[in-house]
Amino acid sequence: MPQGVNLAGSFTLPGSSHSVNRMGYGAMQLAGRDGNKMVWGPPRDVEAAIAVLREAVASGVNHIDTADFYGPHVTNQIIRKALFPYPGDLVIVTKVGALRGEDGSWIPGFSREELTAAVHDNLRNLGLDVLDVVNLRSMFSVQQPAEGSIEAPLTVLAELQQKGVIRHIGVSNVTPAQIAEARRIVPIVCVQNHYNLAHRADDALIADLARDGIAWVPFFPLGGFSPLQSGTLSEAASRLHATPMQVALAWLLQRSPNILVIPGTSSLEHLRENLKAATLQIPAKVLADLDAVSTQDAAVPIARHE
């Protein structure tokens, strides 16, 4: 296995002693697929999934993002099989707030009973006594942030934190108003929203959170189920002798120091490609070209912290 390295510098979660390398790993793709049921059931090759996790950690990854509703239960069980007993510096971040229907659908799980059960499912399947970070996944819309109070479910997580089974709390798929509401209830260490080179509705929000030292963890950093495609991205990759996905990840890492990336893959080859993005430096002219890819939020200038 490769020797561990510091991947793109580190970031310390606010109010904690958890310092993680900014290049992490997302476990969603370790689950399988059953027809139209995405992220469902075991993968075709469990041993290959275990190999990916072990190489990621051996290469310096000490931040793994997961959820017990991936599979469901599958990814957490694979993580435990691959890595338990866990390295002392490994931070496992999980999510609650969603459940899976028998048809593979993603449905809200916001009641006290559902949230409490989800936390204990994560503890059991990961083999832990306490969860490092639990993100509340807002489910007013499955596809994107939508307004609605998250006070009640977040209060449940705050109570579980007081009981000692959760160390830190974050939020996912949320609006600025929901983030403000959450921060009035409990300290928030990270925000996890859909964000990448071509999907930049939260540009201003990233800068606001950076000022307060809160981590921004973009999910679907490479486009998710619809991989990023851009002529500008392909041209930049050619100029930098890299792959388009490596450039997309490097762009995120250079975007702001509070961004932690969690690309997922079930392939050792793709894992190695993703990790190399942590050492890729994009020149200012190429950065400017990439910044102009999305016109979605053109009124908000990019604030960089090089």
**Considering 25, 70, 86, 195, which one is annotated as catalytic?**
70
Question: Burial, 150: exposed, middle or buried (Cβ in 10 Å; 0-12, 13-18, 19+)?
Answer: buried
Q: Are 44 and 53 in contact (CB under 8 A)?
A: no
Q: End-to-end CA distance of the chain: give it in Å, rounded.
A: 32
d(CA 302, CA 293): 12
User: Has 195 been annotated as catalytic?
Assistant: no
What is the residue whose two structure tokens read 């510098």?
9
Joined tokens for residue 299: 């009124």
Query: With 0-12 CB in 10 A as exposed, 13-18 as middle and 19+ as buried, what is 143?
Result: exposed
* Nearest alpha-carbon partner for 277 in 54, 25, 19: 25
Q: Give the Cβ contact number of residue 297 at 10 Å.
A: 14
Q: Can you point out the beta strands (E) in the chain?
A: 10-12, 19-21, 25-26, 63-65, 91-96, 98-100, 106-108, 131-137, 166-172, 188-192, 215-216
Q: Catalytic positions, please?
A: 70
